[in-house]
Structures are given as structure tokens and as C-alpha cells.
Amino acid sequence: GDSVTQMEGPVTLSEEAFLTINCTYTATGYPSLFWYVQYPGEGLQLLLKATKADDKGSNKGFEATYRKETTSFHLEKGSVQVSDSAVYFCALSYPYNTDKLIFGTGTRLQVFP
Amino acid sequence: DTAVSQTPKYLVTQMGNDKSIKCEQNLGHDTMYWYKQDSKKFLKIMFSYNNKELIINETVPNRFSPKSPDKAHLNLHINSLELGDSAVYFCASSQGDKISYEQYFGPGTRLTVT
């Protein structure tokens, strides 16, 4: 079946450091890929998405590229801020099928000043 | 304006009780979902409804019964609560037009069963 694997957290960084959170997926078809972010005490918000191979999603300085050859969708940011501290979820879905999101286990990011 | 709202935000109850969680969206979406997030933050789909019709039921115990009185509401009723039901439950909605893809999540309801 389909699944998403994320790197274990927490990821602890100093402000302005470079961030990478790894995400790989197993899919039976051609899914769309997403990164969602959950700030403390809140629900999930869509951070970025990519709907086909080689697409790059970007938002708020975060980027991720849909790599079909490596089945990956790694999240990157060049310079993190304290306000980026949150839990990040990689997910996939088939919008033309059931549309349900299949999530990875989440990676907690802690950024210190 | 709150896009997806849930009530209550916190729910503490004893084993064996029956409880409901309500969800409302004012986005005009026609698809709504319930997700469960366990203590390790793992998120899993439970149900989805499209225009009041059940689309997804992910082998959830039949103690859980979703009800959609109209396409703006999707409530979750849980019978005979068990300790393992303790989790955060998130409601979400999407346009369902297979184009916009984004699901909008509510703030969550933290259920604690004692």
C-alpha cells in the first residue's frame, strides 16, 4: 500500500541555519505530494504542494521538489526562524481518487535564537 | 472568520460514556473528513463525506459513527468510549473538485478518556 516515511525528530537548529527534512514515499500510482505544518496548539495548515514529477512547491521560504526517480519530496529552507518551530508532516493523496491524505509520522522542528 | 470549527476543543470523559464532536465549515466545500492524531502525532484518516454521502471508512470500529446533516457539517459520535480513543481528532474540508487539492483543518478536539 501507499505510505510516507519522514526522518525522525526533533530537528534542533539555531536561527538562520539551513533546514532539510527528508520525506520519501511509496505509491502505487502517481500521487500529489504535500507538506503540512502544525504550530503548537493548532490544526494543520498546508505549507506547499506538488502535483506531478519535477514540480517544485514553495511557500514562506520553504521549498520541496517532487522527485519521482528517488520517490522523495524533501523540505528545505535556507534560513530558519524561531517562528518556524512546529511539526511538519509530509503527505500524499490521489485527488482524482479517494482524495484522502496519507501522512508521514511528522517531524518536530525546534529553532533556537 | 473561522473556516473550519470544532466543538468542543477539549473533552474529558470516562470509559463507557457516549460523546459527540461537532464540526462546521463555512468555506462552501462539499467534502469533509475526520482524522485521528495519536499521542505520537501520527495522523490517520477515519472518514470522509462528499455532499453528505460516506466516501471513506477506514476500518474504524463501529463505535464511531459520523453524521452529516448537511454538507457544511460533519459530526462524530463515539459510543462506549475506551482508553485507546484518547487522541486529538481533526476535522477537515476540501473543495472536492479534484483541482484545488488543499484540505483545510480545524483546530482539533483533544479527547481524554479516563
Q: Which three cell numbers stand for residue A10?
A: 526533533
pLDDT of residue A69: 93
Q: How confident is the model at residue A28 (pLDDT cuts 50, 70, 90)?
A: confident
Please answer whether residues B46 and B64 qualify as being in contact, where contact means their C-beta atoms are separated by less than 8 angstroms: yes
Please name the residue that has the C-alpha cell 470549527. Answer: B5
- B4/A95 touch (CB, cutoff 8 Å), yes or no: no
Q: How confident is the model at residue B108 (pLDDT cuts 50, 70, 90)?
A: very high
Amino acid at the residue A80:
V
When mean pLDDT is compared across A6-10, A19-23, A73-77, B83-87, the lowest value belongs to: A6-10
Q: Give the mutation candidate from A51, A90, A100 for the B interface (greatest B CB count, under 10 A).
A: A100
Q: Tens of pLDDT along A43-75?
A: 899 999 998 899 999 999 999 999 999 999 999
Among A46, A87, A101, the residue with its CB nearest the CB of B41 is: A87
Q: Tens of pLDDT along B41-61?
A: 888 999 888 888 888 788 789
Q: Tens of pLDDT along B26-37?
A: 999 988 999 999
Which residues are A3's β-sheet partners?
A: A26
- A95/B101 touch (CB, cutoff 8 Å), yes or no: yes
Which residues are B89's β-sheet partners?
A: B36, B109
Q: Which three cell numbers stand for residue B95?
A: 473543495
pLDDT of residue B32: 92
Closest residue in B to A87 (Cα) is B41
- Cα–Cα distance measured from residue B13 to residue B113, given in angstroms and rounded to the nearest whole number: 5
Note if the bond before B8 is cis, omega within 30 degrees.
Answer: yes
Q: Tens of pLDDT along B56-90?
A: 788 789 999 999 999 899 999 999 999 999 999 99
- Cα–Cα distance measured from residue A82 to residue B68, given in angstroms and rounded to the nearest whole number: 40
Which residues are B10's β-sheet partners?
A: B110
For residue B6, is pLDDT > 70? yes
For residue B99, is pLDDT > 60? no
- A49/B101 touch (CB, cutoff 8 Å), yes or no: yes
Q: How confident is the model at residue A96 (pLDDT cuts 50, 70, 90)?
A: low
Strands A107-112 and A11-14: parallel
